[in-house]
A and B are shown apart, each in its own frame.
Chain A
């Protein structure tokens, strides 16, 4: 990575909202084990939870109040190890080792104990007071497994609490243990590895003496043996690094594998032994076909799998359009009855600003909420069921052609709702190249706001088929742009390695909470931009500041794109929020029958350009906070160029036969 400004690791970390706390406790564990569910239970905050690995993209903070104590709870992203495979791993280990929370709650998926304990062993090496939450014990019991929590507690030397987080079971006990451990600073037992490895660690710890880089010395020694590049860089003592290198080489010679793999093997060996001791398997080795197996034989079927994937994604969009359009028109009628809300661009300045602000507010309510809510409702259902990972597997091959892999499908689908959270979710990709590339493609996905424009201009006044054609063209465009950018953006790409969670029946409570949480966070982003932006732009327009823009943009809008001169301003308004193009158009021409002011070709071209050119301000800000302003600017410029180029070509082509 090039430097601090390009890294993005710490960019969107929100300023700590939780202040004046007595203690700080972090939740850590594998992906998809229920950390966020426990977080929500402990703090009452609604973190998005869902049945796919990688939801928690930034660490969330919440407050747990108990008997007068104020405890800050931090939900760390799910990781499998403290290596340097992904940024999340580095960020999490640095947080735990260097910021030293008062305790860590290690959330463990009871049905995959070995792999979860593998991570626990690494947490232990970081020397933090710890509580283990053995979560999803209900699912484990369904599988015919049971875990002896007391035995586990004795072996590890820390309290173990069994929980079913989504049902709130065990949370009270967990809270008490958290308070106990963070007060007493109970450290877990130290884990011993095999003789060869243990000898190497001891030699290295002895050689390190008082070399201190902020991490625990045993952990540092192990990381040096693993040849961890970050840690090796931090240890400046040449003697120590040289010794580490020679010991690592010795290990590699004995085992014929890289030292980090040898140590991973050791850890798993210990994890297996512990699991053997505490897990009781009542299944007697006979494997019944589980519900997940049965569903997967359809969802991952070579033909049916694709049919279902298309039905699910297509159904999600069609449902959004149909339901959204209904609610939207209902709300619009309601607000028209209260007050005139279409943009006003003449008259006293105060009333223009007020009208602008009000228009922004109403537009948000009538255009975004009706489309976003039903979309997120069904999305939450799909997410919670565990189906998203199956789509990822089915479409992995196709995504390869774009230099991405199956997981990229998830942000792209999220993008149909709103590009902003979709851009943040690009963190589920592994390499910087893949993250950037995916974010770029996500901004080309028509979000609900753009859907409104396409529906309002094309489906309403040309016909529905042209609207669908625009959608189809957009997918084609994403593929072509993906192919080109894949070659153009430097960096490495890695293939898909993803855990496949079991399906489960989504709970209504989780779905409604999640839908609301998403809509709410969107409202926080959208409404301020919307209200302020709309007021400001209207005022500027009324003052005549924007009029020269029409003239300046004339060569592009009129000559090249074949649009009315007013399109210059429409598109500028559209930067704030895409659907503002629609509203502005209505006001300036004093009609909502767009067919009377524009030809079908113009309507299609305007919708096409609106669909492709710059994502809205909020998305640009999201990209800039994730990838830096340079990349945000580059993507914006690329999309403006593309929109103009394609729009002009479309105008000329369509004029031939329409």
Chain B
């Protein structure tokens, strides 16, 4: 089954049954405008993949994994609807169908960018709520931490060399030669420690960071192996 088709099924089950309810095979068939036989086949297939639990004659319920995908698609769908209506001024009646096709192809990055541009809308043009994102932020302001023109979403893990000057991160993990990693830890670059990028020397020269009130110069190729969580 194509992933687009799977997502469409999960969305429909979510629409009919809600988060925990059961969607009957016939109801799904009617909604998607397909035969009940192919619905049964699809549900069996999805049950094998752990997305739904399926009982013959009763219908399908979303598993945790299935629910996750369904909510994500739903969120994208509704964000897209807001975008199409508010920004592109497309007729409200047409946006549902349009969004139905687009929702399967956009990336996380586009989703984030949409959310930011639209100022994190709470509801779609038809009034349905838009579920909040599942990132580790408590408010949208935290999500807006950007510096030096480069946009890093909070919670994203990047090499420390991607930070712009003055940007901060929390050490997520270190890779590379064992001795070098040990040396970096000895100098205070331990896991979960906050580091601040001070500057980058030109021509791929060393970077200078501040950690635990001390400043360290680290060769670029070593620093490329230091991964940080963007600080929030």
**Cα distance A391–B182 when bound, in Å?**
26
Of the candidates A80, A81, A496, the one whose C-beta lies within 8 Å of that of B217 is A496
Q: Which of B111-119, B120-128, B146-154, B205-213 contacts A (4 or more CB under 8 A)?
A: B205-213
Tell me the bound Cα distance from A559 to B218 in angstroms: 51
Contact check, B214 vs A80: say whether CB atoms are below 8 A apart.
no
B228 within 8 A of A: no
Q: Are the CB atoms of A397 and B204 closer together than 8 Å? A: yes
**Contact of A264 with B205 at beta-carbon distance under 8 Å, contacts A257-B191, A497-B218, A497-B222 already known:** no
Check A397 against B174 for contact (C-beta < 8 Å).
Answer: no
Question: A residues within 8 A CB of B222?
Answer: 494-497
User: Does chain A have a CB within 8 A of B193?
Assistant: yes
Is there contact, CB below 8 Å, between A495 and B219? yes
User: A83 contacts the other chain (Cβ, under 8 Å)?
Assistant: yes
0/1 string, A75-90, CB within 8 A of B gives 1: 0000011011100000
The residues of B that contact A113 with a CB separation of less than 8 Å are: 213
**Which residues does chain A contribute within 8 Å of B218, judged by CB atoms?**
495-498
Asked whether, in the complex, the Cβ of B186 is within 8 Å of the Cβ of A393, the reply is no
> B216's contact among A258, A397, A499, by CB below 8 Å, is which?
A499
Q: Is the CB of B182 within 8 A of A112?
A: no
Given contacts A495-B221, A497-B219, is CB(A300)–CB(B201) below 8 Å?
Answer: yes
Q: Does B202 contact A (CB under 8 A)?
A: yes
1/0 per residue A280-310: CB within 8 Å of B? 0000000000000000100010100100000
- Nearest B residue to A255 via CB reads B191
Q: A7 → chain B, closest Cβ, in Å? A: 17
The reply to whether the CB of B37 lies closer than 8 angstroms to some CB of chain A is: no
Q: Which of B177, B178, B182, B206 contacts A406 (CB 8 A)?
A: B206
Contact of A85 among B183, B199, B206, B212 (CB under 8 A): B183
- Judging by beta carbons under 8 Å apart, are B201 and A396 in contact? yes
Task: Find out whether the CB atom of B186 lies under 8 angstroms from the CB atom of A302.
Answer: no
Q: A264-B185, A268-B188, A495-B221 are in contact. Are A397 and B203 (CB under 8 A)?
A: yes
B92 at the interface (CB under 8 A from A): no
User: In the complex, what residue of chain A is closest to B185 when comparing beta carbons?
Assistant: A264
Give Cα distance in the complex from A261 to B177, angstroms: 13
The smallest C-beta distance from A77 to any residue of chain B, in angstroms, reads 15
Q: Is the CB of B179 within 8 A of A268?
A: no
Collect the chain A residues with CB atoms within 8 Å of residue B193's CB. Answer: 268
Report whether A302 and B215 are in contact in the complex, using a CB–CB cutoff of 8 Å. Answer: no
How far apart are A232's CB and chain B's nearest CB, in angstroms? 14
- Measured CB to CB, the nearest residue on chain B to A122 is B186
Contact (Cβ within 8 A) A500 B190: no
Contact residues, B164-194 vs A (CB, 8 A): 173-174, 177-188, 190-193
**B191–A393 CB distance below 8 A:** no
Interface of A, secondary structure class, is helix
B215 partner residues in chain A, CB cutoff 8 A: 499-500
A44 to B1 Cα, complex, angstroms = 83
B177 in contact with A300 (CB, 8 Å): no
Cβ–Cβ < 8 Å partners of A305 in chain B: 202
A247 CB to nearest chain B CB (Å): 19
**Residues of B with C-beta under 8 A to A300:** 199, 201, 208
Chain B proximity of A186: nearest CB distance (Å): 27
The reply on A118 being an interface residue by CB < 8 A is yes
Decide if A114 is an interface residue (CB 8 Å cutoff): yes
Q: A118-B188, A396-B201 are in contact. Are A111 and B179 (CB under 8 A)?
A: no
Chain A residue numbers with a CB within 8 Å of B187 are: 80, 115, 497, 499
Roughly how many angstroms separate A394 CA and B190 CA in the complex, as a whole number? 26
A85-B183, A112-B213 are known contacts. Are A500 and B221 too (CB-CB below 8 A)? no
Min CB gap B26→A, angstroms? 48
From A114, A300, A392, A497, residue with most partner B Cβ within 10 Å:
A497
Q: Tell whether, in the assembled complex, residue A396 and residue B205 are in contact, meaning their CB atoms are under 8 Å apart.
A: yes
Set A265, A397, A406, A500: member contacting B191, Cβ < 8 A = A265
A435 beta carbon closer than 8 Å to chain B: no
Query: Which chain B positions have C-beta within 8 A of A499?
Result: 187, 214-217
Which A residues lie within 8 Å of B183 (CB)? Answer: 80-81, 83, 85, 497
Q: Are A406 and B213 in contact (CB under 8 A)?
A: no
A500 lies within 8 A of B186 (CB): no
Asked if A114 and B188 sit within 8 Å, CB to CB, the answer is yes
B185 contacts which chain A residues (CB < 8 A)? 260-261, 264-265, 268
Residue of B nearest to A392 (CB): B217
Take A264-B185, A264-B186 as given contacts and tell me if A498 and B201 are in contact as well, using a CB distance cutoff of 8 Å.
no
B173 / chain A contacts, CB cutoff of 8 Å: 257
- The interface residues of chain B lying within 8 Å CB-to-CB of A268 are 185, 188, 190, 193
Q: Among A272, A389, A400, A500, which residue has the most Cβ atoms of chain B within 10 A?
A: A500
For B, the interface residue count at a CB cutoff of 8 angstroms equals: 37
Residues in B76-110 with C-beta less than 8 Å from chain A: none
Chain A residues whose C-beta falls within 8 Å of the C-beta of B190 in the assembled complex: 261, 264-265, 268
B201 near A296: Cβ-Cβ < 8 Å: no
- Does A405 contact B188, Cβ atoms closer than 8 Å? no
Contact call B216/A500, Cβ cutoff below 8 A: yes
Contact (Cβ within 8 A) B177 A81:
no
* B-chain residues with CB within 8 Å of residue A495 when the two chains form the complex: 180, 218-222
Residue of A nearest to B202 (CB): A302
Is there an interface contact between A394 and B205, defined as CB atoms closer than 8 Å? yes
Mark A87-125 against chain B: 1 for CB-CB distance below 8 A, else 0: 000000000000000000000000111110010000000
Q: Which residue of B lies closest to A495 (CB)?
A: B219
Q: How many angstroms between the C-alpha atoms of A84 and B186 in the bound complex? A: 11
Chain A, residues 466-507, CB within 8 Å of chain B (1/0): the string is: 000000000000000000000000000011111110000000
Tell whether A261 pairs with B212 under 8 Å between CB atoms, given A494-B180, A497-B218. no
A85–B182 touching, CB < 8 Å: yes
- Out of A83, A257, A496, name the residue touching B206 (CB < 8 Å): A496
Most buried by B among A268, A302, A405, A499: A268
Pick the contact of A497: B178, B180, B213 (CB < 8 A): B180
Judge whether B182 and A260 touch: CB under 8 Å. Answer: yes
Chain A residues within 8 Å of B214, by CB: 112, 115, 499
- Do B203 and A497 touch (CB < 8 A)? no
Q: How far is the CA of A305 from the CA of B173 in the complex (A)?
A: 32
Kindly identify, within residues 42 to 92 of chain A, every residue whose CB is under 8 Å from any CB belonging to chain B: 80-81, 83-85
Which residues from B are CB-within-8-Å of A393? 201, 205-206, 208, 217
Contact call B201/A83, Cβ cutoff below 8 A: no
Q: Which residue of A has the minimal Cβ distance to B196? A: A287
CB < 8 Å: which of B186, B191, B199 contacts A81? B186
Distance between Cα atoms of A85 and B186 in the complex (Å)? 10
**Residue interface bits A397-434, CB-to-B below 8 A is 1, else 0:** 10010000110000000000000000000000000000
B182 and A496 contacting across the interface, CB-CB below 8 Å: no
Q: Looking at the assembled complex, report how far the CB atom of B173 sits from the nearest CB atom of chain A, in whole angstroms.
A: 7
> Which residues of chain A come closer than 8 Å to B202, judged between CB atoms?
302, 305
What residues of chain A lie closer than 8 Å to B199, measured between beta carbons?
296, 300
With A85-B183, A396-B201 already in contact, the answer to whether A112 and B212 are too (CB < 8 A) is yes
| Bound form: Cα–Cα A268–B185 in Å | 9
Q: A257-B173, A302-B202, A499-B216 are in contact. Are A80 and B186 (CB under 8 A)?
A: yes
Enumerate 19 A-B pairs (CB-CB under 8 Å) in ascending A order.
Answer: A80-B187, A85-B182, A118-B188, A258-B178, A261-B181, A261-B190, A265-B185, A305-B202, A393-B217, A394-B205, A396-B219, A397-B204, A406-B206, A496-B218, A496-B219, A497-B184, A497-B187, A498-B218, A500-B217
**Extra inter-chain contacts (13) besides given A300-B208, A406-B217, A500-B216, CB under 8 Å:** A80-B187, A258-B178, A260-B182, A260-B185, A261-B174, A300-B199, A302-B201, A495-B221, A496-B206, A496-B217, A499-B214, A499-B216, A499-B217
Which of B's residues lie within 8 Å of A, judged by CB?
A: 173-174, 177-188, 190-193, 199, 201-206, 208, 212-222
